[in-house]
Structure 1
Amino acid sequence: MELFYTVNSGVYLRGSGMALLIDGIHRGRAVAFSPMPPALKRMLRMGSGPFSRLDGLLFTHAHPDHFDPDGLSVCKTLPPWYGPGLGDAEVRPFLPCVTQVCMGCGTILAVDTVHAGADFAAAPHCSYLIRMEGRWTFVAGDAVLGPDEARRMRTLCGEEVGAALLNPCQLLEPRGHEFLRILAPERVLLYHLPLPEEDRLGCFDLAAQAQIRYPKTLPPLVRLEPMSWLRTGRA
């Protein structure tokens, strides 16, 4: 499986049976994050580069740095898409507060989670467990994470997690560290960063602090670089 990180929380996952773009169609400037890079829009419009294959779009929630409904028209052919209360993809109830999203040949579980911050706690939000090529990837979005959430994810996937994507704030909190101890992914990927020249909130400083404070007893931490590839399978 391969991962292409766009910007903000945009992640493209590609395996032999499925290719998904998560939180990749968004705005950003109004909330001090990055809008979609022109190169990304061009690739989606032409169905080229990584996006010559795209089985579905996923969104963790509807905040503008994660989702732009008007931006869906940028896709050459709009695939099925899903977010909490959004989209036209086929879905199936899986368990209370867990929805199975039907896209491609893998498994996608949308797990209801609480958005971090008191002002946003009521906003519909989900995190994702995605299984491709026999491996699970956890995508946090802006969720509150702690031991309870980790045990829930472990129960749902029942297998080793290859990678977990978390943002700088989640990685700065002791509860986020406890989440990772229980989830025990093979590696942790730090994301939710704007382009460096558009970093008005100090996200890269937060990311640097998260890396410095990250316990050495936890799985290896890798900071993703905007608009770049990362191989997520076993070495």
Structure 2
Amino acid sequence: MSDCIDIDLVANAGVLVRGGGLGLLVDGMHDQDGHPFSRVGADDMARMGRGEGLFARLDYLLFTHEHPDHFTPDLVIEHLERRPVKGVFLPAPAKDPEGRDRLVRALEERGVPHWTMGPEPGHTRTVSPEPGLAVTAIGTRHMGKQFRDVRNDCLLVSLAGMHLLFTGDADHVPEYYEEALRGVDLDAVFVNPIFYHNPTGQAIIDDVFRPLEVVIYHMPAPGKDPFHLAFTVKRALERYARPDMPVHVLDAAAPHVNICPAVL
């Protein structure tokens, strides 16, 4: 039987995944302004660099897309100067390539394995960097008409015999996921509040993802919720919650969730 996997909120959609003797950080290095979501704090970045507390294992860095509330390339470079990693999974290039180019050069100079994922919507790319770990990028587009030109990798992390899907800001389009997830039994899927609230998003969760558990992440910080996402999630939970599919809200009030294998 596989061990459980620990998930800890870092900031926004940034989460630390610990299981199988590995630590994976998803969308967890960003400190830019210009958006209403939480930035990764300097204290947490310092703990990452020193390998303290939750960050004792920090083996792989994964990013769903290049928006500033998910990914700051220069922050990753600063981390590499303090502490090595086993590999970095990069999303599709964005319009402004300078920061990304600096990061790629830093990775190459240090001999750090790195993979540009970014498959076309509905397509996949899988990398298995070591036994017990595989990462599959499922190509999607970012939700919202203003972001239609932004590609977003849904990241299927297969770790220690379990399957976790991190959707980032992927749009709720069934065709993105149907073939990519055919035959995959998801232990947990991580979706943002808009995806969970949307009826089409709910249909995808029920009919395509079919996870054992759902985690809602990308939640605003207390007192900083201009889009009223906390209220949106509350109403959605009242409408859609199912006793056979537990739903966790990963936020400042409940920053940890433990995902365990199904008991047959």
TM (norm. structure 1) is: 0.88
The gaps in structure 2 that reach 5 residues or longer are 94-103, 108-112
In the alignment, structure 1 residue 163 sits paired with structure 2 residue 169:
no
Structure 1 unaligned segments of length 5 or more: list them. Answer: none
Q: CA RMSD in A?
A: 2.4
Bigger Cα Rg: 2
1:85 aligns with 92
Structure number with higher relative contact order (C-alpha < 8 Å, ≥ 6 residues apart):
1
Q: How much identity, in percent, do the aligned residues show?
A: 27
1:176 Cα deviation after fit: 0.7
1:139 corresponds to 2:146: no
Equivalent residues of 1:90, 1:101 under 8 A apart: no
C-alpha deviations, 1:126-167, integer Å up to 9, x for none? 111111111100111100124333423422xx2321000000
The separation in 2 between residues aligned to 1:63 and 1:187, in whole angstroms, is 27
Instruction: Supply the AA of the counterpart residue of 1:136.
Output: H
Check whether the contact 1:8–1:34 (CA below 8 A) recurs between aligned residues: yes
Amino acid at match of 2:250: L
Displacement after TM superposition at 1:206 (Å): 2.2
For the 8 Å contact 1:127–1:139, the answer to whether it is kept is: yes
Q: Which moved more, 1:84-93 or 1:211-220?
A: 84-93
Equivalent residues of 1:17, 1:132 under 8 A apart: no
**Counterpart selection for 1:209 from 209, 226, 235:** 235
For the 8 Å contact 1:161–1:184, the answer to whether it is kept is yes
Task: Answer yes or no: is 1:10 the counterpart of 2:37.
Answer: no
Contact 2:32 2:39 in 1 (8 A): yes
- Bigger CA drift: 225-234 or 60-69? 225-234
Which has the higher mean CA deviation after the structures are superposed, 165-174 or 48-57? 48-57
Q: Which whole-Å CA distance do the structure 2 matches of 1:180 and 1:110 have between them?
A: 18
Q: How many angstroms does 1:19 deviate by?
A: 1.9
Corresponding residue for residue 74 of structure 1 = 79
